[in-house]
A and B are shown apart, each in its own frame.
Chain A
Amino acid sequence: MDKQLELLQGTLDMLILKAVSLGPLHGYGILLRIQQISKDRLEIQQGSLYPALYRLEHQGWITSEWGESENKRKAKYYQLTTAGKRRLLTETENWNRMAEVIAGILGTKPEEV
């Protein structure tokens, strides 16, 4: 496996929102899902997950609810809010646009300047 890429600053939030958009999950589940979707190519600090979750909840993009996990244990499940859905869309759009711009800059040949 290639070496895992370090997460760029600020992108964890986006990833969490995306993960949760696919269905309500508890914290550990979110981590697994991100790893799953990214095919394990991203390096995610476990410790920074929960502060991010708390921040996102504080800002109103996700809500939480206590429920039962697969193995019958109490776990806190997170869900995307309507505002959160909108936020995810905006952030995705911004990200894509930004990536395009950066790629364009980085791909500039000497003679195009």
Chain B
Amino acid sequence: MRLWSQFQSWIRAMAHRTRLESDMDAELRFHMETYAKDLQRQGVANEEAMRRAKLEFGGMESAKEECREARGVNLLDSLVRDVRYGLRSLRKDSSFTLVAVLTLGLGIGASTAIFSVVENVLVEPFPYPDANRMLTLEIHDAAEQQSSGRAEYSGPEFLDYIDKNHVFGRVIANASLEVLHDAGEGTERFHGVLTTPGTFEFFGMPALLGRIMEPEDYEPSAPPVFVLRYKTWVTNFAGDPRALNKTFVLNGVPRTLIGVMPPRFGWGDGDVFIPEKPSRADAARTGEFPPVWYLVGHLKPGVTERQAQADLTVVANQLAKVYPKSYPEHFRVELRSITDMVVGRFRATLYLTSAAVALLLLIACANVANLMLARATTHEKEFAVRAALGAGRGTLVRQMLVESLLLAVAGAALGIALASVGLTSMVSLMPQETIPAETVIRLNAPVLLFALLTTLLTPILFGLVPALRAARNNLEKQLRTSGRSTWGGSQHGRFHDAMIVAEVALSFTLLVGAGLLMRSFVALRGVDLGMRPDHVLLTRLPLPPEQYQNAAQVQSFYRPLLARVKALPGVTDVAESSALPPYGGFSSEIEIPGQTHSEKWNARFQLCSEDYFALLRIKLLKGRVFNATEVNDARKLAVVNETFVRKYFPGVDPVGQHVQLSDLQHYPDRVADPSFEIVGVVGDVLNQGMQQPVDPEVWIPATVTGSGLRGILVRTSNDPMGLMNEVRREVWATNRSVALTFTGSLESLINMRSYAGPRFGFVVMSVFAGAGLVLVTIGVYSVIAYATARRRHEIGVRMALGAQVRDILQLVLGHGTRLALIGVAIGVPVALTLASLMQGQLFGISASDPSTLIAVTALLLLVGLLACYVPARRATRVDPLVALRYE
């Protein structure tokens, strides 16, 4: 109670400051004047009375001051005064302030931004509560170590697992389905996901609009419904809320849209979700393939993974007898959480970035510690004087605390700003497919707090040092110290040096990491694709199988389409193609008449039209490519690549020779005699992705067979994506049941698949390394500058005794270089260790690449020297006489 009434009294006093002052003044005056009057009544003269009254009262001002303190009014005053003083002192020492704030900001900003990404992606990729107890079931063949196991189950099997297990609360499954949507003018293709009863409840996701499926929706007799994914609703349905409860024809069935999911829900990467209840009758269904279910179970509370593993192994063994064809003779059951499935792929990368973050934070803290200590020693004398003049320990400590807090606040503000900016730019650089659809990456509060706490503790801790030291009793000694010391022997000198060495080592590690990633990325970019992917639009066109079963029918679609698209303004070339470079399409066993071989011979092959090679600017090395007439006539001609010639026709001219693509005999639209005459050789085009060597490849006319999914490539003079709507219109004009899939520009596809990942890694690491380098430069500079400033006296002595500018420079630079070299020496083993962890990410360069190490060493030494140079030169410019007198 007392505290409360005290607080109220304080509030009253603060609110009415002026009145308090005037009251106090009036009261004290009254006292003195009344006393003076009493004295007069006792016979003392007028002025004498007043004088004595004043004297005996004591100082009025000090009494007033004590009164103010009694009311607690002083506290705020002192704080405000401390803040003003702190600001002034920081502004005076502006270089220190700037550097300290920058260091803090950089450390906090970089680490928070990266940590947020790591935390959002690694630790919480799914927004579902308890996602790490949602497990998928995999049957692994015990004989094959590397196999990825079977995670798909038939309907009846799925039901059996539900019935027989004892460890899962709820079990759901999903199956993929290609969904064709009749959109009026044409057909759109969606990735459909069949969901089993309870799926949406399993994930705890309610609908954003409308409703989720209810148990009745899963009954076979129920009216057909579906639920949309948010992204699909926005892109394909214009985000129109009126689409709700309307009917859309999906796969020939009119379905009502009953709900739209919130943005974070994208289970199974589905665009549309369709209810399906697996039944034991599935096996008996004819005419279509029964869906294959991918199972996820939620562990009952209290059940451990180990128990689940044991239980499910028992169940699996029982089921192996019921479905013997689906189970290998010896198998084991593996359970993986859904989190693990997504994240497992790039856990290494993320841990690596966490390590980099930690390194950067350490460097930042070391720098700030150095700066604060250096400043502390400057303050020591000032505080000793103040203490001698009567400042209490509390006052001094409070003063330093306020100053450190001011720094901390400024650093925190800058750090938060940098973190937001950094996060937005990183998210825009992240490759789209490495994160599951559901993740939302945003600044993470606990992470930010962690970074703030760790980095801001440093200025506060190290800032208190001078205040605490001044409050000790050694005032006399402190007042008398002349500040003289010899090189390297100062009280904090060794600490400073150690910090610098540590910083250099850490920075070395970061730089090596960045350097390796950069060279890897450059090597990747330097790989010759063998073609020109710019300005090319592509789209895959899966044709409805009932309409297109043989080559003639397929060509009745493509011929007119190609002609139409070619006629569009801005189009320079069009081609039909079965493959999507840099991946090479189908593969087939081959035979070459006249050559015998013991092992199997394989080659990749593609179906294409006559303009394919010209469109992609593939180099013709020998012979010719097939022309329009030959394609029209479905002549059995072939074009091969260099690797093919090297492997199968070494030293022989392949033109005129024949190659047999045996697999074509087994295709639905089979080719009876798949022997093709080679008419030309082209340069290698990457067909196994960016990082694998090229396979031998054969191109044959697309008219030879009707089998095989193909699409069209369109080369445009302007932005290829600008023509997308026209191309779609032409496709639907040719046949409105054909949907366009995988539409995009070839360049961005390659970018996304092959370059984006490495580029991201390289950019992130470079940000760290860059920040680290800046911090180290600042660190070295400040330590050396401080050291030389403290040793002005000694430098003066040396110069008076005949040392030249050169000698002084040598002294200072020598100090700095020594520290840098030690740092590098420590850094090398650390860097090599971390780099070896990174090997999986590197292309075309080894983790222990010596030239990178040398380059980084040189860079650090250069930077260190530069940082030392300025203070060194400044030291030499000091007039020895001044220096000698300087204390």
Contacts and interface: CB of A to CB of B under 8 A. Distances in A.
Given A27-B31, A47-B59, A50-B27, 13 more contacts: A26-B31, A28-B35, A31-B31, A47-B66, A51-B67, A51-B70, A52-B70, A54-B67, A54-B70, A58-B70, A60-B2, A75-B27, A76-B26
B30 A73 contact: yes
A58 B9 contact: yes
B28 interface: yes
A85 to B, nearest CB: 15
A51 B31 contact: no
Contact of B6 (A45, A58, A76): A58
Given A27-B27, A69-B30, A76-B23, A60 B69 contact: no
Contact of A50 (B2, B10, B34, B63): B63
A24 to B, nearest CB: 15
Interface of A: 26-28, 31, 45-48, 50-52, 54-55, 57-60, 66, 69, 71, 73-76
Contacts of B72: 58
Interface in B60-87: 62-63, 66-67, 69-72
A66 B2 CA distance: 24
Contacts, number: 72
Q: Which 5 A-B pairs have the closest CB atoms?
A: A47-B58, A51-B66, A54-B70, A55-B70, A60-B5
Contacts of A46: 31, 35, 56-58
B25 to A, nearest CB: 11
Contacts of B62: 47
A59 B13 CA distance: 13
A74 B67 contact: no
A89 B834 CA distance: 74
B9 A60 contact: yes
A50 B545 CA distance: 102
A57 B2 CA distance: 11
A50 B59 CA distance: 12
Contacts of A50: 24, 27-28, 31, 63, 66-67
A45 B58 contact: yes
Given A46-B57, A51-B66, A28 B30 contact: yes
Nearest to B63: A47
Contact of B2 (A59, A69, A75): A59
B346 to A, nearest CB: 63
28 contacts: A26-B30, A27-B31, A28-B30, A28-B34, A28-B35, A46-B35, A47-B58, A47-B63, A50-B24, A50-B27, A50-B28, A51-B66, A51-B67, A51-B70, A54-B67, A54-B71, A57-B9, A58-B9, A58-B13, A58-B71, A58-B72, A59-B6, A60-B2, A60-B5, A60-B6, A69-B34, A73-B30, A74-B30
Of the listed residues A51, A69, A73, the one surrounded by the most CB atoms of chain B closer than 10 A to its CB is A51
A94 to B, nearest CB: 17
A47 B57 contact: yes
A69 to B, nearest CB: 7
Contacts of B2: 59-60
B106 to A, nearest CB: 47
A20 B869 CA distance: 74
Contacts of A26: 27, 30-31
Interface string B44-66: 00000000000011110011001
Given A28-B34, A46-B31, A74 B26 contact: yes
A76 B37 CA distance: 18
Interface in B1-44: 2, 5-6, 9-10, 13, 23-24, 26-28, 30-31, 34-35, 37
Contacts of B9: 57-58, 60
A47 B55 CA distance: 10
A35 to B, nearest CB: 11
B66 A28 contact: no
Contacts of A76: 23, 26-27, 30
A90 B820 CA distance: 70
Contacts of A57: 9
Q: Which of A26, A45, A47, A52 gathers the greatest number of chain B CB atoms within 10 Å? A: A47
Contacts of B34: 28, 69
Contacts of B24: 50
Contacts of B26: 74, 76
A6 B6 CA distance: 30
Contacts of B59: 47
A14 to B, nearest CB: 16
A74 B62 CA distance: 23
Interface in B401-453: none
A57 B70 CA distance: 9
B27 to A, nearest CB: 5
B430 to A, nearest CB: 59
A26 B13 CA distance: 20
A43 to B, nearest CB: 11
A28 B35 CA distance: 8
A16 to B, nearest CB: 13
B396 to A, nearest CB: 24
Contacts of A66: 23
B75 to A, nearest CB: 12
A39 B293 CA distance: 103
Contacts of B56: 46
A89 B853 CA distance: 82
Contact of A28 (B10, B23, B31, B69): B31
B40 to A, nearest CB: 13
Contacts of B70: 51-52, 54-55, 58
